[in-house]
Amino acid sequence: MNGSKAIRNLSFVQRINAAIDVAHALEYLHHGCEIPIIHCDLKPGNILLDEKMVGHISDFGLAKILSVNTINYSTNQSSSLGLRGTIGYTPPEYAMGSELSTKGDVYSYGILLLEMFTRKRPTDESFKENLSLRNFVKAALPGRVIEIIDPILLQERAKQGTVTNITFNKINLGNDIHLQCLNSIFELGIICSADSPSERIDIIDVVSKLCSIRCKLLTQRYMMLNPQVPKVP
């Protein structure tokens, strides 16, 4: 099942699970293999969801092994590699001829993460001149996060009976675990998609942060469904 077509029907938790699955896969490619592998074309169309809604990375046609020879490409060779990937998901340094790196995959993952929870592509027609998906999300944080999330996720929140009383301010964000988690996810996507590779975090840290966000959300939901369970002081 293609992720770009299926993602619109996934719940909030299912999307977090899929995002963690993809991050785990990148973690394995970057750190679990004897020699790091760079995917070079991470995007929704290359994410597959199986029958259990587990996310998998596909299409390794542009992937490169990060060997010594790869790192030591000449300027001309490096420039030709700068065209690798898909518009909107390719890190800006590749277009300027920089060498391939795992941080390039992290950038693509950051854009993917923002798209998963806003349902807006980085090539959306509304993003013109200096506006981009990243800037669109960054401008809305933290007080207007509810304005940029996928409407389907907003409908899901409404069914839980709490979204109707939410106003666009930091106070309500601070009192709502659901919106706190969304805000944290968007912040993570922004860090991953920073223009400078040195400002992006490692995929290992991405996995850790996303798992923490999921734990926080699931704990809150469990407490709502089981109000008789005493809270830990």
**pLDDT tens digits, residue range 33-63?**
999 999 999 999 999 999 999 999 999 999 9
CA pair distance 223, 145, nearest whole angstrom: 24
Q: Quick one: pLDDT at residue 198?
A: 96
The residues annotated with a catalytic role in the active site are 41
pLDDT surpasses 50 at 72 = no
Q: Count CB atoms within 10 A of the CB of residue 146.
A: 21
Least confident of 2-16, 107-121, 136-150, 192-206: 2-16
DSSP sequence for 140-178 = HTTTTGGGTS-HHHHHHHHHTT-GGG--SSHHHHHH-HH
- Could you tell me the residue ranges of all domains in the chain? 3-223
CA pair distance 77, 71, nearest whole angstrom: 11
Per-residue pLDDT, averaged over 209-230, amounts to 81
Q: In the structure encoding, which two tokens stand for residue 220, read together?
A: 């809150």
CA pair distance 134, 115, nearest whole angstrom: 9
Per-residue pLDDT, averaged over 177-186, amounts to 92
Q: Report the chain's mean pLDDT, rounded to a whole number.
A: 84
The CATH code of domain 3-223 reads 1.10.510.10
**pLDDT tens digits, residue range 83-100?**
578 999 999 999 888 889
